[in-house]
Structures are given as C-alpha cells and as structure tokens.
A = this chain, B = another copy of it.
Amino acid sequence: MTLRLYDFLDSGNGYKVRLALTQLGHRFELVEVDIMTGATRTPDFLALNPNGRIPTLVLEDGVVLSESDAILFYLAEGTPLLPDSRLDRARVLQWMFFEQYNHEPSIAVARFWTKHLEMNALQQELLPQKQEQGYAALGVMEGHLAGRDFFVADRYTIADIALYAYTHVADEGGFDLGGFPAIRAWLDRVAAQPEHIPITKSDF
C-alpha cells in the first residue's frame, strides 16, 4: 500500500504536504475531497479523521496523520528539511505554530472568503480585521527575513514550506506584497528549490 493523501487542491495546508512529499521523493496517491460540498464531514471521512479536515495522510500501514505541520514534521525527520539540533527544531516549530496561529487564520481565511465564498455580513465585517492581522504577520516575517535567506538554520526547511504555502498566494486574499521586499526575494528562493511544484499540480 502506498501513501494516500486526502486533500483539496486549492488548500495551502494540503499543498505543504504535496510539496514536501514530492521534494522528499515519496510516491503517493492523491484523493481529492471537495471541502465545499461537505465531503470532509461525511461519516466515512470522520471515521478517518474525527476533526473532519484535510490534509489527512494515510501511511503505508494504515496509520492516519492529520494537521499539515505535524505531517511535515513527520515526513522531514531525518532528512535535510529538518535540522538536527534541538534548538533549530524548536525554531522550526516556533515558525510553524506562528503560521497556524497568526498567518493561516488571517491570510488563508481572507483568501478563502474572497476566492471561494459569497461572504455573509459577519465575514464582510471581519475581513478588515483579517487584513490587519495578515499584514501584521507579514511584518513579522519581513523583519525576520531581512538579512536571512531562510527562516531557520540558514537553509530551506519545513518552516519555509509551511510559510510559503499561503504567502505565495496572499494576493488572492487581497494582500499586496509590494512593501515586503525580503518576503518577495524569499518566495523566489523557495520556488527555485529542486523539485518545486506549483499548488495547481494534480497528477501524482
């Protein structure tokens, strides 16, 4: 049995896992799940992942892992995508928790609402807050990347993959990266890594 990834193609969280699997040379089966029609909330899917979310990865022996950044950590252990030192590993996790707490809930959510939904009144009221929080997260990233090529340990790691996923499509959420030159240069460095794939690639 090969690795099986349950995923929604336009999800940056899913893209992180597709990108890492590809760059680490893993073959996998992509099972597309339409989150727009409730396919992650069916009894069958909830039996797989009780939290009802993609990406969900089923390992060769049937073990199920969820949470994109936990999957990245699992895949990257023992590879160049995760540093060996205890401190650098903590720093990688620090940026991944920043990504899930500060970056994704603002930038990815603003993008999802803008791109995939007819926003309701509450979402329209919240959008400026999402924009403000998203720009604050981008500001923290810009400050860190000034004078650095990558987020941790001077090399490309899963911290870069985690933050690249929604930053490189932030414009789709209404974010203008014009004022963030260090981020733009870093996006180019990430996209230039060997075996890089776009978020739209669907044949695996």
Chain A interface (Cβ < 8 Å from any Cβ of B): 50-51, 63, 65-71, 73-74, 77-78, 86-87, 89-91, 93-94, 96-98, 100-102, 104-105, 122, 125-126, 140, 143-144
Return the chain B residue nearest A63 by Cβ: B87
**Given A93-B67, A93-B73, A105-B105, A51-B86 contact (CB < 8 Å):** no
Query: Which residues from B are CB-within-8-Å of A70?
Result: 90-91, 93-94, 96-97
Query: Which residues from B are CB-within-8-Å of A74?
Result: 86-87, 89-90, 93
What is the bound-complex CA distance between A100 and B68, given in angstroms?
A: 13
Query: Which residues from B are CB-within-8-Å of A143?
Result: 50
| CB of A93 to closest CB in B, whole Å | 4
Taking a contact as CB atoms under 8 Å apart, the answer to whether A51 and B87 are in contact is no
| CB of A159 to closest CB in B, whole Å | 11
What is the bound-complex CA distance between A70 and B100, given in angstroms?
A: 12
Taking a contact as CB atoms under 8 Å apart, the answer to whether B94 and A65 are in contact is yes
| CB of A141 to closest CB in B, whole Å | 10
Taking a contact as CB atoms under 8 Å apart, the answer to whether A102 and B51 are in contact is yes
Taking a contact as CB atoms under 8 Å apart, the answer to whether A77 and B86 are in contact is yes
Query: Which residues from B are CB-within-8-Å of A69?
Result: 93, 97
Q: Assuming A93-B93, A101-B105, what are 5 further A-B pairs, CB within 8 angstroms?
A: A67-B101, A70-B90, A74-B86, A74-B89, A74-B90
